[in-house]
Amino acid sequence: MDKKILVLADPTSIHTKKWIKGWEYIGYQTVLSGLTDKKNKNKNLFYAKISSTGGNGIKYIKNILNFSKVLKNEQFTIINTHYMSSYGLIGALIKQKKHKLVLFLPGSDVMIDMNRNFIYSLMAKFVLYRTDVLVSVSETMTNKIVTKFPSLHSKILTQQYGVDIQFLNKFFTKKKEIDVITNRQWKPNSNYPILLNTFASFQTNINFKLIGYDKSSYAKELLDKYKSLIPYSVGIVSYEKNLSYVSKSKIFISLTSSDGIPLSLIEAIYLGAIPIVSDIEPNRELIKDGINGFIVSITKNSLQKKIEDVLQLNKEEIEKIQQYNKNLVLKKFDFKKNFQRLEKRLKENR
């Protein structure tokens, strides 16, 4: 197999950079192209400058032609796309017979977009059937795809792409200075109104960290309502700084209404934070309530009570959870093992 791959994804995304690292680990020469003007700083990547479409249909079609030119200029055997409804569609349109198409499905594109309306459903069918390997991050997502398109079962590889264990080890610390942290996106799906209402209700001196405040109108409106939490809010930080905050935290919270298995949660439990997560199916795949974390309903009372309980855990209880989670991540989420598994699947589909 000629190990040269075109990655169609957001060049500024940390997830794209992690996928690039995974492909490079198993020996692929990687070319990155995306709908943005910003260049990726990785000197080993070729960057095809393609302007953002801004939602303009004509520009979108022109950019598809530009991506086709990238394919002609380089001899690729694999196209790796991220998200079904954007780069996934582009990859499905420009793919030729000689190409293998690998589609990464992180969550919302399946859990929300696939059934949004009739047009999205048709688009999903086209993209998924054009794909050779579908990487689904949770069994919940896989089941949803197979329920809608049963014949796709053999194409699906169910796994998160994983974490770089050696890199994460650089941030590990037993000194937990932050009581509670969340770094999920400031979007309605993350249920920040409930998070902020809960945090604001604590009368005791608890150190919170709200990572990733993006200054959007949604985020500004929320912090204007809960001004007492502004000192605990941190803007968008580097990946390394984010890990540094997480590694120093006692509790990690993910209160999303819909999700895959988020990489941020995997990183947090490896670094020793005790997870408190919403009661949705993908979270239950990873977190066993009372064993390696805690599952709560998406309500203020449930979340507040659980935070109080976890902060009262003794050292032995905390260390038992931490060791369980470390072993779990080493077993299931080592990116080196997971990319080797992906390469094996590609060879089987030749």
Amino acid identity of residue 202, one-letter, is F
- CA–CA separation, 153 and 144 (whole Å): 11
Tokens at 3, concatenated: 């190990």
Q: Is the dihedral of CA 93, 99, 104, 105 positive or negative?
A: positive
60: confidence class by pLDDT, cuts 50, 70, 90 = low
Beta strands in 39-145 (DSSP E): 46-48, 78-82, 100-105, 133-136
pLDDT in tens, 267-319: 999 999 999 999 999 999 999 999 999 999 999 999 999 999 999 999 999 99
Give the pLDDT confidence score for residue 36 in this predicted structure.
62
Examine the pLDDT at 45 and tell me if it is beyond 50. no
Spatial strand order in the sheet of 249-254: 233-235, 208-213, 178-182, 249-254, 274-278, 294-296
d(CA 318, CA 61): 54
8 A C-beta contact, residue 339 and residue 25: yes
pLDDT higher than 50, residue 50: no
pLDDT band at 42 (very low <50, low <70, confident <90, very high): very low
Rounded Cα distance between 247 and 173, Å, is: 6
- Confirm if 260 and 138 have CB atoms less than 8 A apart: yes
Rounded Cα gap, residues 105 and 108, in angstroms: 8
Mean pLDDT of 131-138: 94
Domain 4-162+334-348 has CATH 3.40.50.2000: yes
pLDDT in tens, 148-172: 899 999 999 999 999 999 999 999 9
Confidence of residue 33 (pLDDT cuts 50, 70, 90): confident
User: What are the beta bridge partners of residue 79?
Assistant: 6, 101
Backbone angles phi, psi at 185, to 5 degrees: -60, 145
> In the chain, how long is the greatest CA-to-CA distance?
63
Classify domain 165-332 by CATH number: 3.40.50.2000
Helix or strand (DSSP H, E) at 185: none
- DSSP lists the bridge partners of residue 136 as 105, 158
The pTM is what? 0.88
> Where in the chain is CATH 3.40.50.2000?
4-162+334-348, 165-332
Instruction: For 253, list phi and psi in degrees, rounded to 5.
Output: -115, 135
Question: How far apart (Å, rounded) are the C-alpha atoms in residues 107 and 156?
Answer: 14
If one counts every other C-beta atom within 10 angstroms of the C-beta of residue 44, the result is 10
